Structure 1
Amino acid sequence: MKYLMLLTALCCSVNLFAQYDGPEWKTPSKESQAYNEYRNKSTVPPYGLAKVKALVKSIPWADDETARMDNKTYLALSLREKFTYVMIHPEISSQNCDPIPPVQDEDKKIFGRLPDAFSEANWSERQINFLNSNRDSVMAIIRESVIRSKRMGVNYKNAIQEINGREMIPFLIDTYNTDKKDHDILSLLMLLMMKSEYTPFMTSQSYRKLYGPNADFRAYIDFNGANEELILKRAADFYSTIRK
């Protein structure tokens, strides 16, 4: 199995260099690099963490590029232990071989999409079903964890998007306003509005630029006071409509 993974990585490396023949990619500023590291960092839940880590360590990779805990062991986990498992161990490997240049001035942008929660890996159907089947509990655990750690990792934001956690909008706004550093919370607010097809957002210039026919997965709007205020106000107005 290790040989197969190594061979795949080598093939991807050859493919990457074969596709890219342009000038050397520009290195982003230190501020941009620091923000990239910040926004791609996951939160590690503490719930049964030592136990879950030990179990994960013993999981073998299968020939279909999955590393799935056996069902008997998985079902024996408590709800919070399952949450920790899902947040730290995606069960499906996904190799991305396309060369992607680094983003410039990442700290000055509000993106339309969240970063992937895991590098070259995805949640399995079983894990996605867990998040959606335990939606209220997942939101409660995330709130509790974020309040304690003062941080909402990329895995938590992806989980909220997955379960369409629009009930968390006031909490997301409050979390953002603590230091106004995590622009991906603004991205998540827009994704929640889009998921519900909130008309004032769906007809906005921001929507057309971020999700319109000419937008790509790296589409963004500038991070500035006007855009920040508009997203927060729209999200608050949207939440008031779903509370009625």
Structure 2
Amino acid sequence: MANRALAGNPNLNTLGVVAPPPILVQTPAFEGTLATLFRCVREHKVDLLEVPMEPICEAYLCYLMESPAANLDEAAAALTVLAYLLERKAWQLLPVVEEDEPEMDEATALPDPTTYEYADVIQRLMENHDERTKLFFRTATPQLDLYEIPYDVGDVTAGDLAKAFERLLRRANPEPVELLAKPRKSIQEQMKFVLLALKPSYQRIEEMFVGEYTRTDAVYWFLALLELIRLGSAQVKLEGEEVLFAKK
């Protein structure tokens, strides 16, 4: 039905719109029909500012004068195109208001440095920071996998071991003056001496010492003995109020 209507009206284009009549436009910037000028302006192929509108209006007026029996639809289509071109060029001819660029203020002088006023506070904060780096905090939720399961020592409690260690310290001699560069003892080496001093039969910790010793010797000896108990190389039991040790 639509194709039949288009075929019956030769003035309709393929879109069903009345095409402007073939009005010839001759200007220094463009030469062609009014419909071609309209299409080129819409597709930004022709700068309308360079095309004078007087020859176009004169060509449209001549078309009306020379064709008294012109098709009203074609004349209306040509007038619509002419109105579009006039409005488009009028907008382009309007002056564009350019905003004045804001003037840059002169650079203000920088304030004098005032760090020296807070030198004491800065020094105190640095000292607090250094002290805090030496502290270690435990998380709120303990991670049990990081701790060893306490080994079984029977009826012997930590208090019993502390009493045995206290008796050992009472017999220790005063510490001699030593050089600061003296290397520290090794618990692993001390464990060898303690293991040799242990016997298969139970004995008190004081009986394992031969000769004189210092408080430092007593500390290393006791730590090595606890490590041997943890590793299962030594055993401990409580007999009355006495804590006895033996080789396992």
TM bucket, shorter chain: under 0.3
Answer 1 or 2: higher relative contact order, Cα 8 Å, separation at least 6. 1
Between Structure 1 and Structure 2, whose CA radius of gyration is higher?
Answer: 2
TM score, norm. by length of structure 1: 0.23
Point out the structure with the larger helix share.
1
Normalised by the length of structure 2, the TM-score is 0.23
